[in-house]
Amino acid sequence: MNKFVNTKTGKLYTAYSIREIGDKYVVVFKKGGKEYTYDRYTIDLMTGCDLSSTNDVPTSTGKLIVYSYDKTCYNCGEKTQILTYIVYTGNILDNFTYPWDKIKALKYQNTELHMINEDIEYYGVKVLGDVFSFDEIMVNKYPKRISVAYSKTLRRSYAMNICEHCKAIQGKNFVYKDINRFIRDMTPLNVFDTISFQITNDFLKKCKNHYITP
């Protein structure tokens, strides 16, 4: 068992498990119990705490909603179907669903980019190509539709849609702009699929550059 002191109250607690996620600790007090999130500075771990004991053990199950919409391919001019997830920047485990909450999306708006290009709201959402763990899920689920390719614009490789006709890649920037427009105009999107996945420590570590609340 793991013990820690709450620095705010000075009380000593015993926990079933403690996981470290960025600047937070996620504490479970009993097997199968509820998870509680604490800021690192409020927790003083006692000697002997094992933060890696649950690395490969799923802590819970998440779901990823996959949306689809049709887009004209820039290369061949044919209509091709685009697949993407839309998750909230403030918590990537939170699927963004219709009716779109524009007030919520504006909380993490990239205001600097919006000032440069006012045609795009730059809402606080993540799409295909933004979150590596979700990209892995999508590539494995739809290998004929989504592939990892190199972007000359972003100068990195990431998961992208492939045109159903000419196989030209459909980059993230175009998808992000489309999603921004759909949210702004309150346009509903087709739910193509819902994928269940296991939330493990390894999964969370891959998401360390994103806001996340298990």
Question: What pLDDT, in 10s, does the model give residues 25-46?
Answer: 888 888 888 888 888 778 777 6
Q: What is the DSSP letter of 49?
A: -
As a whole number of Å, the end-to-end CA separation of the chain is 21
Select the more confidently predicted residue: 1 or 53.
1
Please list the helix, strand and coil fractions of the chain in percent, rounded to the nearest 5, in that order: 20, 40, 40
Whether residue 53 has pLDDT greater than 80: no
Residue 57: pLDDT band (50, 70, 90) is low
Residue 101 has pLDDT above 70, yes or no: yes
- Is the pLDDT at 54 greater than 50? The verdict is no
Residues 6+ apart with CB under 8 A from 10: none
Helix intervals (H) in the chain: 102-106, 111-116, 132-141, 172-184, 201-206
Phi then psi dihedrals of residue 140, to 5 deg: -70, -35
Structure tokens of 64?
A: 């990823």
The CA-based angle 78-81-85, given to 5 degrees, is 150
